[in-house]
Amino acid sequence: MKVAEKDNVVHGMLEDEYRRSQEIVKALQAKLKYYPKGALNVRGKKVKNKKYFYHYLVRRDGKKIVNLHVAELDLPKLKKQIEEREKCRKEILSYKKRVLYLAKLLKKSKWEGGREK
């Protein structure tokens, strides 16, 4: 069977990409901790023929479901933070997929570290 000769440059680039992706996952996971947990929920309440809406941040705390009231004033900021958190999660997911693919290709364990700038 003919075996292709290993290309040092291409192999090095793949190795670098593998380590780079791992580092990004770690950095983004660290960033994720600073975002609020949970999802936004709206509840409507009818008082004297008038309907009022209240926003809540719903999250799980062990076995309990916690509803935290969100003031109208804090809503835009919170919405932005949740949006950024989801963007961050999406990035992590795509890098994790890349790490898995490269780990297979390079015959490595999923998580190894360190790269040279």
Partner 1 sequence: MKNKLPDNLFPNNIKNLLHAMSDVGFFERSVVVGSWVMLIYQELYGARYVLRTLDVDFAVHIAHQKRKLKADLKQLITSLGFTDYFDAEGTQKFTGGGYEVEFIGQRSGGRGKGVLAVPEWNVSAIPLPFISILTDFSDVAELCDFIIRFPIPEAFFLHKLIIAQRRLSDAKRDKDLEQCSVIIPIINDERMKNIIQKQRFSRETKSRIVASCDAIGFPLHRIELL
Burial string for 83-94 (b: 16+ CB within 10 Å, else e) reads eebeebeeebee
* Contact between 102 and partner 1 per CB under 8 A: no
- Residue corresponding to tokens 């309907």: 51
Q: How far is the CB of 96 from partner 1 (least distance, A)?
A: 12
* Contact between 49 and partner 1 per CB under 8 A: no
Q: How far is the CB of 2 from partner 1 (least distance, A)?
A: 23
- Binding span for partner 1 by CB under 8 A among 46-54, 59-67, 84-92, 103-111: 84-92
- CB nearer to partner 1: pick between 25 and 70: 25
* Contact between 8 and partner 1 per CB under 8 A: yes
Burial string for 31-53 (b: 16+ CB within 10 Å, else e) reads eeeebeebeeeeeeeeeeeeeee
Give which of 86, 52, 45 is closest to 72, Cα–Cα: 52
CA distance 82 to 106: 36
Which parts of this chain interact with partner 1 (CB under 8 A)?
8-13, 15-17, 20, 23-24, 26-28, 30-31, 84, 87-88, 91, 94-95, 98, 116-117
